[in-house]
A and B are shown apart, each in its own frame.
Chain A
Amino acid sequence: AQSVTQLGSHVSVSEGALVLLRCNYSSSVPPYLFWYVQYPNQGLQLLLKYTSAATLVKGINGFEAEFKKSETSFHLTKPSAHMSDAAEYFCAVRRTNFGNEKLTFGTGTRLTIIP
Chain B
Amino acid sequence: GAVVSQHPSWVICKSGTSVKIECRSLDFQATTMFWYRQFPKQSLMLMATSNEGSKATYEQGVEKDKFLINHASLTLSTLTVTSAHPEDSSFYICSARGVTEAFFGQGTRLTVV
Contact = CB atoms under 8 A, between A and B. Distances in A.
B1 to A, nearest CB: 8
A43 B33 CA distance: 14
Interface in A63-115: 90, 97-100, 102-108, 110
- Which bracket fits the contact residues of A? 20 to 34
Interface stretch (B63-71, B80-88, B99-107): B99-107
Chain B binding site: helix, strand, loop or mixed by DSSP? Answer: strand
Contacts of A90: 43-44
B109 interface: yes
A105 B95 CA distance: 14
A106 B43 contact: yes
A88 B89 CA distance: 20
B102 A107 contact: no
A51 interface: yes
- Which bracket fits the contact residues of B? 20 to 34
Nearest to A98: B100
Interface of B: 1, 4, 6, 9-10, 31-32, 34, 41-44, 46, 49, 91, 93, 95, 97-107, 109
In the complex, the 10 A-B pairs of residues with the closest C-beta atoms, listed nearest first: A43-B104, A99-B97, A100-B32, A44-B104, A43-B106, A105-B43, A107-B43, A99-B98, A100-B97, A43-B107
Interface of A: 9, 34, 36, 41-46, 49, 51, 90, 97-100, 102-108, 110
